[in-house]
Amino acid sequence: MFTNGISHPDLWLWDSWTYADAGTIHLYALALSRRATDGTDIRPEHRNDYPFHFRHFESRDNGVSWTDLGSVLTPSADTSSYYSRNVWSGSALKLGDGRKLMGFTGLREVDQDHPFLQSIGIATSLDGTEYDNIQATALSCPRRDYDAILEAGYYLGPKDQLGHKNGEDGGPILAWRDPYTFIDKDNRIQCFWSAKISPKVGAVAHATLIETGSGFEIETLHPPMTLPDGDSITQAEVPKIYFDDLNETYYCLISACDRVYEGQDDSEVSKTLRLYKSPDLRGPWKTYREDTSILDGLPNMFGASVIETDFDARVMKLVAPITECATPDLQLTFAPVQTIDLVRSNNNTEPKL
């Protein structure tokens, strides 16, 4: 059991998604062994050279302590699969019939120069500990659905650049990842993920899903959701939507990166957690405070998830991984639960990162 955060002795951990059920918080994270099969150390900056897995933790005390429940998803052994090279961040949503709708990003390596071809995958799980039914066909694939994605207003690089290790049109790599599912007021499933509207401007993709006899599929791919400070965000990663029914307000949490091009020195790149609000699910979005969207007091935190809200008190509590930019003892671990003040400068806990 881990207390006041998760520092796993055997695993690097980053990005997160959650769902709550009967007083238990289920937390998922990207995970990778700290050591290769030959026993050599794997450094955080080299993690994309290895296949990841999804790690499952649970807490029954609102995130004070976490129990490791093991791996729940690994890349497919089928080399033709859309998730044969790797799996990246996703989501978990409890449906009305008790099933869990599990979104994820699948990566397929076209060749050595194109290792990052991303697709949006979907699965269901009976209890959240095993992916019982992974759909064989991606929900959305930039290569397969190229024309439809462009017609909806999104940016994709030329087809020969999709998934290229050097990025698209001089910008960072393809962004078609990190699906997050949300049930709206009409009991319809909405799905959001990281996208772009130009080579160097990030946005949030939005689709309405339906379930048919053959599984879940996209009913409508909506135009991209832009952000008020989006010109300074090249990658709007791991998006999540939360609804304040007391004040009829939607909140959109993203992990923002300003990497201008692949190969840029990490010292020149900033990663921040940003929060936006809107009276409508589609926006327009504005920064959660008048002066900024950045959640201050959360140094080196990225890929966060909200685990508790108290809209009467105007606060959210979130769980957040710590990036590789932190001190070595904190790299790719989880910080203790953080409290976000939705009105003033936030965070009552400031770990030394």
Q: pTM score, two decimals?
A: 0.96
CB count within 10 Å of CB 219 equals 13
Maximal C-alpha separation, the chain: 55
Q: How far apart are alpha carbons 237 and 233 in whole angstroms?
A: 10
Q: How far apart are alpha carbons 237 and 156 in whole angstroms?
A: 16
Choose among 122, 113, 44: nearest CA to 90.
122
Q: How far is CA 329 from CA 26, 63, 325, 338, in A?
A: 25, 21, 11, 19
248: its two tokens: 């009829």
Spell out the per-residue pLDDT of the chain, length 353, in tens: 999 999 999 999 999 999 999 999 999 999 999 999 999 999 999 999 999 999 999 999 999 999 999 999 999 999 999 999 999 999 999 999 999 999 999 999 999 999 999 999 999 999 999 999 999 999 999 999 999 999 999 999 999 999 999 999 999 999 999 999 999 999 999 999 999 999 999 999 999 999 999 999 999 999 999 999 999 999 999 999 999 999 999 999 999 999 999 999 988 999 999 999 999 999 999 999 999 999 999 999 999 999 999 999 999 999 999 999 999 999 999 999 999 999 875 554 444 45
